[in-house]
Amino acid sequence: MTNTARTADAAPIDADATLRVAAIQMVSATNVSENLGRAEQLIGEAAAAGARLVALPEYFVLLGRSDRDKLAIREADGDGPLQAFLSGQAAAHGIWLVGGTLPLASASPGKVHNSVLVYGPDGRRVARYDKIHLFRFDSGGERYDEATTLVAGRTPTVFDLSAPAQDPSAPARDPNAPARGSAPARGPSASARDAAAPQAWRIGLSVCYDLRFPELYRAMAPADLILAPSAFTWATGSAHWELLLRARAVENQCYLLAPAQGGVHENGRRTWGHSMLVDPWGEVVAVRAEDGAGVVVGEVTRARLKSVRAGLPALSHRVM
């Protein structure tokens, strides 16, 4: 059930130079408890495979018979069984866990935020991103309009994956601005501490339809890894899914990890799946090519990021 990138299992992994990640693919149904049970099983499988960061797909909690079904399970920010589930799983496995999306209450009656929540290995929440671009599609046979039940987010979000898990949620910063929290060293002892501190992984958050808006991804640059939990339809996914993921990775010279819904759902909807990890050169590192639930595991490496950016320094050539 696990698709793993080509790595030498016997070789030790430098935690600062390599980040093992996992994208969980699901076929979420109309029963929340069943979906959480399946998610728990897959999270455990990913953790057992050595993943330090595990990401669930969009709508992992519920794909109901009606778009309005999600309103019945909405939670206040910071409180509720769905958030407690994510926190508990992160702490139980000692991983960074990305809760694909779940419905959080909004100020608009009859609508919710479609939110990605990130929890650190100690179970504390470190980031929240509300999906900015809301999907609308009408093929004549299929029709979707997320704006009928969702409120769009406004803020691009990145976070730093480091240890211990205490990085606050943060908006994307100007790449020309000083690093968040940076300050002049106050003597040799501060310099020594900086040199000894492990380098954090800079990670951006996006959701599904966001992939069609490259300006969002550029706003998060420079990032080492961008996550894109998704539920692409079969029609749009078969045409554009891999193309969009590889394009966003190439133009931002970063890794893209995309956990997805994949299969025929209880409500009759068919999603594309093909959860994958793409590297900064646009190469597919690992992918689940078949429908159904499973785990895709791969490695993000600083060596690959540095090699691509040094050989083709496109990010430094930006003029707009």
Residues 222 and 254 sit within 8 Å (Cβ to Cβ): yes
Is the separation of the CB atoms in 152 and 158 below 8 Å? Answer: no
Catalytically annotated residue among 70, 75, 131, 146: 131
Catalytic pick among 75, 111, 146, 208? 208
Give the Cα separation of 225 and 19 in Å (integer): 10
Catalytic residue list contains 58: yes
Using DSSP's 3-state secondary structure scheme, residue 93 falls into helix
Pair of tokens at residue 165 = 């898990």
Catalytic residue among 58, 146, 242, 299: 58
| Contact residues for 132 (Cβ-Cβ < 8 A; gap 6+) | 152, 153, 154, 155, 156, 210, 213, 216
- 146 catalytic residue (yes or no): no
CB atoms within 10 A of CB 73: 16
Which three-class secondary structure string do you get for 97-156? EEEEEEEEECCCCCCEEEEEEEECCCCCEEEEEECCCCCEEECCCCEEEHHHCECCCCCC
Under DSSP, is residue 217 helix (H, G, I), strand (E, B) or coil? Answer: helix
- Both tokens of 181, joined, read 């929290």
Beta bridge partners of 313: none
Active site residues: 58, 131, 208
